[in-house]
A and B are shown apart, each in its own frame.
Chain A
């Protein structure tokens, strides 16, 4: 009985690790799709506009953004060589990195929000290697079920296990 219990505990640990690794793989696939989609969009825009946008209106990756209410007072100290900055906010703020910004711009076709259309799913799959297309289909189905509340947390674990 003890050995059986140990095997059960070991099984739960593995399922938990598989869940985390699937989430990490999904994040990497979303970043790959978002990055390729952004590059393609900019290249198309540059062709249409016969050249890149004004330099001071573009922000090259990688970058971070800090967004806060317009009413926030920010006290900022900067070292003379611009190697150090200290910001004091009198209100809350949020920090997001470039991959999060691209997702919010829709560069990953809403896959992570379960709102990806069939056409966008086709495009998204074309942006990843063939061997990984299945994961994109799964991700889209899984997140749209979660989005519609059709997949409870226990079922998510099972789906993780089945797909794994």
Chain B
């Protein structure tokens, strides 16, 4: 599955690569939260 590999420790500068990583992590978190909410909501309420 998608992994991002970057070379670090180089000299100062060229930062655009981390924007992509941060976006990916942030999106997945909102996705995980949404799926958690969906799974929580989908449990059928027990009948008394």
Contact = CB atoms under 8 A, between A and B. Distances in A.
Is there a direct interface between A and B, measured as CB atoms under 8 Å apart in the complex? yes
B32 to A, nearest CB: 9
A95 B21 contact: yes
Interface in B1-48: 8-16, 18, 21-22, 25-26, 28-29
A138 interface: no
Contacts of B29: 91-92
A92 B23 CA distance: 11
Contacts of B11: 62
Interface residues of A, number: 17
Main SS class of interface, A: mixed
Nearest to B18: A95
Interface in A24-51: 27-28, 31, 35
A96 B12 contact: no
A94 B13 contact: no
Given A97-B18, A100-B18, A92 B25 contact: yes
A100 B15 contact: yes
Nearest to B11: A62
Contact of B15 (A61, A91, A97): A97
A3 B48 CA distance: 75
Given A62-B9, A62-B10, A64-B8, A99 B25 contact: no
A98 B9 CA distance: 10
Instruction: Identify the 3 closest CB pairs spanning chains A and B, nearest first.
Output: A92-B29, A97-B15, A31-B13
